[in-house]
Amino acid sequence: MSNLCFVGTIGAIGLLAVIIFCGWGMLSLQSVKTEQELRDKLAYHGIRAAAEIVSQRTAGGRGSASHYVTYRYEVPTPDGSKTLLTREAEVSLGNYFALPVGTQIDTHYLPDDPKVSRFRGSLQEADSPSGLRASGYRAIAVGIGIGIFFALVTITVLQHLK
């Protein structure tokens, strides 16, 4: 009976690994699709605006730190006045130092939702959709590979129990 419990445990671990990796891959692919749709909207309908870096911050520790800049840009309102919007974007370490407070940049925002914006140099802008998509497919492939591995291990153990 304990041998069957062992086989069941192996099978359950394999199934859990498949679910985790394949789920991770599917979520990655969905986020790529969403980001690509947003990039397309900004490319075709986005409005260019001058922006200024107003602050910087670093989060995390050594070796795993994330760097952010906060930028401010002006958009027209329906009544003809203007409003200032402030957004934060993650940037590479190089861009963190290249974009000190006071730096003028160009951003693009959506006319129907001006809070949605991107600027060249933000990690959202720099991430390659094809690279992110490949990462999602790799995660799914790893999940399938793990599933096959655990299925073969389970079959082999069951054959030895006969």
Model confidence pLDDT, tens digit, residues 24-76: 777 777 766 777 788 788 888 999 999 999 999 998 877 778 889 999 999 99
**pLDDT at res. 26:** 77
Q: Do residues 49 and 106 make contact, with C-beta atoms less than 8 angstroms apart?
A: yes
**pLDDT at res. 109:** 93
The answer as to CATH 2.60.40 being correct for domain 46-126 is no
**pLDDT at res. 42:** 85
Q: Do residues 157 and 123 make contact, with C-beta atoms less than 8 angstroms apart?
A: no
Domain ranges in the chain are 15-45+128-162, 46-126
SS3 label, residue 130: helix
pTM over 0.75: no
Say which amino acid occupies 41. Answer: K
**pLDDT at res. 123:** 52
Report the interhelical angle of 2-45 vs 129-161 (nearest 10°): 170
The separation between CA 8 and the C-alpha centre of its own chain, rounded to angstroms, equals: 35
pLDDT tens track for 77-111: 888 899 999 999 888 888 889 999 999 999 999 99
pLDDT tens track for 112-145: 999 999 887 665 554 555 556 667 777 778 888 8
Least Cα distance to 89 among 106, 71, 103 occurs for 71
**pLDDT at res. 53:** 95
Take residue 34 and report the two structure tokens written for it: 């969403």
